[in-house]
Amino acid sequence: MPVGEHHATLTGFTGPVCRLHFRLRFRHHAVPTNTQDTPTLSSISPHTEFTLWWIRSSSSSVDTFRRKHDYLRISLTERCNLRCFYCMPNDGVELSPPNNILSDDEILRLAKLFVQSGVKKIRLTGGEPTVRKGLANLVGRINELRIHGLQSIGMTSNGLALHRKLPLLIENGLTHLNLSLDTLDPLKFEILTRRTGHDGVLKSLEVAMASALHSVKLNVVVIRGLNDSEVLHFVNLTKDNPITVRFIEFMPFTGNKWDKDKLVPASELLERISGRFPGAVKLLDEPHDTSRNYAIPGHRGRFGFISSMSDHFCGSCNRLRITADGQIKVCLFDSKEVSLRDLIRSGVSDVELLAVIRQALSGKKAKHAGMENIDVVTNRPMILIGAGTYALNAGKLSHLNESGSPRMVDITSKEITRRTASAQGRIYIPTNAYEIISKLSASKSKGDVLTVAQLAGIMACKKTSDLIPLCHPIPLSHIEVRLTIEAEPSHGSGFGHHSLNGRERRLRHSILCQSTVTCDGKTGVEMEALTAVTASLLTVWDMLKAVAGTGMVITDTFVTSKTGGKSGDFFRPPRRVDDSWKDLRAPYNEVIAKVERWSIYFVTSTPNVPGMTSGINIHYPLQHFLTSQD
């Protein structure tokens, strides 16, 4: 039979049953015609691949407050051809190296993953998205995701040069456009943006209104004493034009000198407009609308308010953001970020990416700090919501100065925050050592190996800055070290036994060491957590060497999580599946595989992959599922 594909959807099970789609791409195989031909899990002929897709359920993008996130904003660049004072600090921003910005392929991979997880709307932002090269082609590639459920592609632009590019963007799939225009006065435009170009923005607006776009909106940031006197002029634009004018409350971002007195609440603006247009009617809002919309009888357009400060809409928030350097932000006003870019470039699978995304989403708060407290929240400058000053530095070591000499990183300007870090590691030991330790542990002897190793880890943790030359001394508030005897190591929680060579595999037993360290300080405690684990395992090695010899192996030492700090939280995703059937089962308490004809059924109970309740994409060799005779 020639090379081909078979597709199947498996449903109808009761209880905790995975619903699967799978595709088979094969060579030299005939489709079984009776139950005797049913393939088994033993082996397969070469050149065969199996792709297993565990369908992401509707809950895959729901946070702990049951908000479903189906709207993704992707920043394409941190660069902009304007310098709006409320967006960019007076002294500018440090641009990320080009290599730190997500590539088209990386954007497409993330976009596809989010769409397959339930996102229906993607909006492209910046910086200014039109300054990115190949924008039209990227829009066209994103538009191909409609087959996976994407319904619309929007873009937010300052409109300065958009009029030349808009027709091709629409042809390639752009459906919605938001134009940022804070004033109708050319002179005031130069004051606000520190650039000329007011005519270009108006031309882009004209081209947009005459196009086939589904929606054209004007975003107006209202600042008391600067442009709040123009509100009625903007409302007048809705009389003859089918646009929506949205008045946005002035919001705080690093460097924009936010002042509560400069904020004009939406309620005050509505009162002004109602005084001039008493017939304004409140429109019915969609469930996830950020703006509260109104219409004036006889006007073709409408106006609305985005009251992020005075009357937040956190309860219905359905938005996620990816910055230009690949950080995921679950809230515009939350400084916590997690780098998806670094995970992608380290070679992780979609399973691992999805787990990290789910973990980040689980940390989304019920609402932001509110107008009274939000001005003390440290966040990026607005323009860098699409960039990444806190991502990993490509090719630059922070502990070296410009001349290459070692230095201690300056943390003077950092804020004191609650920081935690967890780490783990293993030592593999022979059976005789395992039996001795098990007996000592069971007897609760004061001198048993695990107790001594635990104390060693705690002591070493407190001395980390003495052991590691450029580490900062940190006042630790909590240290916890745990050692667990394992008859056979659990592969699902580490890199596992498969990393040992043939001779070392005889070390069938292991001791798992886990540490958690907490402090209130200006820098993280990952090094302290790693030092605690390392010292504990070295102590075990030293105390067992008389009976175990020097063949013991210490391995799989790594940070499992961290919280706090500007770099955001980190949670190590589940380890990628390797080439053993046992490892495929490792992330679950129970997996039963049943093969009938060309259908593969998986029944699983209680998934325990951190941050995941459903939604897993596993690429797995079919050789574990089919016989060589097929």
Residue 244: give its domain's CATH number: 3.20.20.70
Say if 572 falls within a structural domain: no
Interatomic CA distance for residues 522 and 326, integer angstroms: 24
pTM score: 0.56
Say if 630 falls within a structural domain: no
* Greater pLDDT, 583 or 205: 205
199/79 same-domain check? yes
Interatomic CA distance for residues 123 and 175, integer angstroms: 10
Q: In what order do the strands lie in the sheet with 476-486?
A: 476-486, 509-521, 417-429, 553-563, 570-571
Q: Which two tokens stand for residue 566?
A: 């500007």
Q: How much is the pLDDT for 365?
A: 63
Q: Which amino acid is at 108?
A: L
Question: 3-state class of 446 per DSSP?
Answer: coil
CA-based nearest residue to 612, from 19, 15, 60, 57: 60
CB atoms under 10 Å from CB of 387, counted, come to 26
Q: Which two tokens stand for residue 32?
A: 């079984």
349/423 same-domain check? no
Of the residues 386, 409, 432, which one is the last residue of a structural domain? 386
Say if 411 falls within a structural domain: no
Interatomic CA distance for residues 349 and 356, integer angstroms: 11
Q: How much is the pLDDT for 43?
A: 34
Of the residues 515, 542, 564, which one is the last residue of a structural domain? 564
Interatomic CA distance for residues 35 and 232, integer angstroms: 76
Interatomic CA distance for residues 457 and 424, integer angstroms: 12
Write the CB contacts of 88 (distance below 8 Å, at least 6 apart in sequence).
Answer: 80, 255, 256, 381, 382, 383
Say if 598 falls within a structural domain: yes
Catalytic site includes residue 542: yes
Whole-angstrom CA distances from 554 to 392, 424, 439, 450, 557 are 28, 11, 22, 15, 8
Q: What is the pLDDT confidence band of residue 536, given thresholds at 50, 70 and 90?
A: very high
Interatomic CA distance for residues 618 and 616, integer angstroms: 6
Q: What is the mean pLDDT of residues 459-469?
A: 93
161/287 same-domain check? yes
35/78 same-domain check? no
- Residues 340-398 have pLDDT tens digits of 999 999 999 998 888 888 887 876 766 644 444 444 344 444 444 443 333 334 345 67
First to last CA, the chain: 11
Write the CB contacts of 625 (distance below 8 Å, at least 6 apart in sequence).
Answer: 39, 41, 44, 50, 593, 595, 600
CA-based nearest residue to 600, from 4, 23, 200: 23
Helix (H) or strand (E) holding 139: helix 135-143
Say if 60 falls within a structural domain: no
How many domains, in total, are found in the chain? 3
Least confident of 74-83, 198-207, 303-312, 590-599: 590-599
Interatomic CA distance for residues 358 and 363, integer angstroms: 9
76/125 same-domain check? yes
Strands (E), 93-209: 121-125, 152-157, 176-180
Ramachandran category for residue 542: left, alpha or beta (phi over 0 → left; psi -120 to 50 → alpha): alpha
Strands 509-521 and 476-486: antiparallel
What's the burial of 580, exposed, middle or buried (CB within 10 Å: 0-12/13-18/19+)?
middle
Interatomic CA distance for residues 321 and 125, integer angstroms: 10
Say if 403 falls within a structural domain: no
Whole-angstrom CA distances from 26 to 2, 52, 590, 625 are 8, 14, 29, 13
Say if 400 falls within a structural domain: no
- Residues 388-419 have pLDDT tens digits of 333 334 345 676 766 667 778 877 777 788 99
Write the CB contacts of 314 (distance below 8 Å, at least 6 apart in sequence).
Answer: 365, 366, 367, 368
CB atoms under 10 Å from CB of 377, counted, come to 14
191/273 same-domain check? yes
| Residue span of the structural domain in which 101 resides | 67-386
Q: Which of 542, 556, 569, 583 is catalytic?
A: 542
Alpha helices for 477-577 (secondary structure H): 526-548
424/541 same-domain check? yes
147/190 same-domain check? yes
47/105 same-domain check? no
178/287 same-domain check? yes
47/86 same-domain check? no
Q: Which two tokens stand for residue 311?
A: 């009357």
Distance of CA 606 to the CA centre of its chain: 24
Strands (E), 138-196: 152-157, 176-180
Say if 393 falls within a structural domain: no
- Residues 150-183 have pLDDT tens digits of 999 999 999 999 999 999 999 999 999 999 999 9
- The DSSP call for residue 301 is S
Q: 127 preceded by cis ω (within 30°)? A: yes
Question: 505: domain CATH number?
Answer: 3.30.70.640
360/476 same-domain check? no
Please give the mean pLDDT across all residues of the chain: 74
Q: Does the pLDDT at position 523 exceed 80?
A: yes
